[in-house]
Structure 1
Amino acid sequence: MSSPLLFDIHFPQGHLALWLQAIWSAQVPMDQQGVTRRLVADAGSGVLFNIGEPILVDQQALHDPVMFESTNKQAHFIHLPSGTDLIGVRFQPGMGRLFQTKLAKQESTTGPLQTSEFIQSLFVRLKDCLITQERIDLLDKAFYQRVSSMTDIHDPVLKAVELLQQSSRVDLLDALPLSQRQIERQFQHRLSMSPKYFQRLRRVRAVLLALKEGRNHTRLAELAIEYGFSDQAHMTRECQLIAGITPKRYINRKLLP
């Protein structure tokens, strides 16, 4: 049976990809049953525009039309009821806090991101769009124009995130022109976590994505070594702690991240 969830995702290209992982849309028709999904931690943050019914995250109802999702450090369950109509942007790790800070300076405000003039104007325009692709195009263009003057190619957090996404070795950060203490402080400020914890999140997410794609279902020990765990037991413990599910249970339930 096909899922009643209508989900679309767009991966920004070029300059915008430094800031955004994705622009996405999720809808559940009024004549369909609600959908519950597990959200695996990805160290990202986001802005969610809710044009439909209130949703539930970990059984807590969220009624605000515009919400800023803080850095995701652990797994959550999201329930999308009948009448769900959401669209959002997902920032790259560490970039949501930076975007909020720079936008506040541009607008000379101190309020939360979701109350900014830029975000509120987007919400009004999104409500007038009935076609999903038009909404995605609107967000892509608006965020591209906004971040064009914000990017610092020498951003130490961006460089550190790139290194940790490419390798499981935290010692690669020694190549950055910052001390370990400075890097730790920058990560805590922007991501509310240490570089080591960020690395742990990315490894667990990489394992679950590999399992979703059908790779190494029967060779978990090899998968553990491939993604930098000491052994299968280590991988199992990390997945249980961070994602709330072991690799074997993930395979059996065939859950989506």
Structure 2
Amino acid sequence: MSYRELPAPPALAGHVACLWVAGSGSGGPSRILPDGCADVVWTGRKLVVAGPSTRAFTAAGTPSAPHVGVRFRTGAAGAALRYPMHELRDRSPQLSELVPGLSTLAERVADAQSPDAQLAVLAQAMQRRLAAAGPADPVVRSAVLALARPRSRVSALDLALSERQLRRRFQDEVGYGPRMLARILRLQRLLRLARSGAAGGALAGLATAAGYADQAHLSRELRTLTGVTPSGLLSGGVTPTGDAALHDQARGSSGHAVGSPAA
């Protein structure tokens, strides 16, 4: 499956990580991995909100049709859609069910003549929607950044909130608690390191660099989150997704990472 990301327009950048286009030339199913984000997606036949996922799934839609989407920053989807993300966890309802005011948007996207044109229609609609949206929760975003660093621990977060309060805010803005997010961000960190050729591709080295306790920990986590073995996943050339700027920012500040392995 071909996949490309485009930077979010400045008017969307406070809530949106990227715009993207994916096409399946073979028409085969696509395996989608958890990435800590929620997206608005045109599947080729309907417009859905791909809620925050906790496990891998196979993309639905018209097999030969390109998919286009708007991906929200980790922790910003709740504010952007004005909807509690935990109610969308591992679900993909139609956008019109959540935002009745956008009931005709699917028709306008369908009428656009190319994937880039469809993406432009979708981005313009999101820009109008976000003009009235509140900012992302700064406490949640700060915690998200801390958890994106290798070897971070939820228990080491210093945010002047109890763990119960933080979890409640994560449920609304991210879709699940900080411990689940830490696992998912670690998975995406692994994919980014593997793509960069870190540790020469050796699983033990990748496990350490990504923040797993050891290779056995990596294997258990990948089987749980993706349903396949590490070698099966990495040999398939899976493309990392999610909030790329978050991972870049966390890598740049990794000297200030807190805690020890295995959040």
Fold in common (TM above 0.5): yes
Using the size of structure 1 for normalisation, the TM-score is 0.75
Deviation at 1:226, TM superposition (A): 1.4
Aligned residue in 2 for 1:229: 212
- Picking from 84, 90, 105, the partner of 2:65 is 84
The answer (yes or no) to whether the contact 1:38–1:256 under 8 Å persists in 2 is: no
| Structure 2 Cα separation of the partners of residues 119 and 157 of structure 1 | 27
| Structure 1 Cα separation of the partners of residues 225 and 211 of structure 2 | 16
Deviation at 1:256, TM superposition (A): 4.2
Amino acid paired to 1:248: S
Aligned residue in 2 for 1:38: 31
- Picking from 121, 126, 130, the partner of 1:138 is 121
Q: How does 1:111-126 map to 2 (within 5 A)?
A: 113-115=95-97, 116-126=99-109
Question: Is residue 23 of structure 1 aligned with residue 19 of structure 2?
Answer: yes
Deviation at 1:125, TM superposition (A): 2.4
The answer (yes or no) to whether the contact 1:102–1:150 under 8 Å persists in 2 is: no
Return the index of the structure with the highest Cα Rg: 1
Greater strand fraction, Structure 1 or Structure 2: 1
Inter-CA distance 224–50: structure 2 relative to 1 (3 Å threshold):
closer
Give per-residue Cα distances to partners, 1:8-33, cap 9 Å, x unaligned: 431315462332222222345xxx64
Structure 1 stretches of 4+ with a deviation exceeding 6 A read: none
Inter-CA distance 86–218: structure 2 relative to 1 (3 Å threshold):
closer
The answer (yes or no) to whether the contact 2:5–2:19 under 8 Å persists in 1 is: yes
Amino acid paired to 2:192: L
Deviation at 1:227, TM superposition (A): 1.6
| Structure 2 Cα separation of the partners of residues 163 and 13 of structure 1 | 26
| Structure 2 Cα separation of the partners of residues 79 and 35 of structure 1 | 11
Question: Is residue 254 of structure 1 aligned with residue 250 of structure 2?
Answer: no
Inter-CA distance 126–192: structure 2 relative to 1 (3 Å threshold):
closer
In structure 1, the gaps of 5 or more residues are 53-64, 104-110
Moved more, 146-155 or 176-185: 146-155
The answer (yes or no) to whether the contact 1:170–1:195 under 8 Å persists in 2 is: no
Question: Is residue 152 of structure 1 aligned with residue 104 of structure 2?
Answer: no
Higher relative contact order (CA 8 A, sep 6+): 2
| Structure 1 Cα separation of the partners of residues 121 and 113 of structure 2 | 12
Using the size of structure 2 for normalisation, the TM-score is 0.73
Amino acid paired to 1:43: G
Amino acid paired to 1:86: H
Deviation at 1:112, TM superposition (A): 7.3
Aligned residue in 1 for 2:245: none
CA-based RMSD of the aligned residues comes to: 3.0
Q: How does 1:1-257 map to 2 (within 5 A)?
A: 5=1, 7-12=3-8, 14=10, 16-28=12-24, 33-52=26-45, 65-78=46-59, 82-101=63-82, 113-115=95-97, 116-152=99-135, 155-171=138-154, 174-256=157-239
Amino acid paired to 2:215: Q
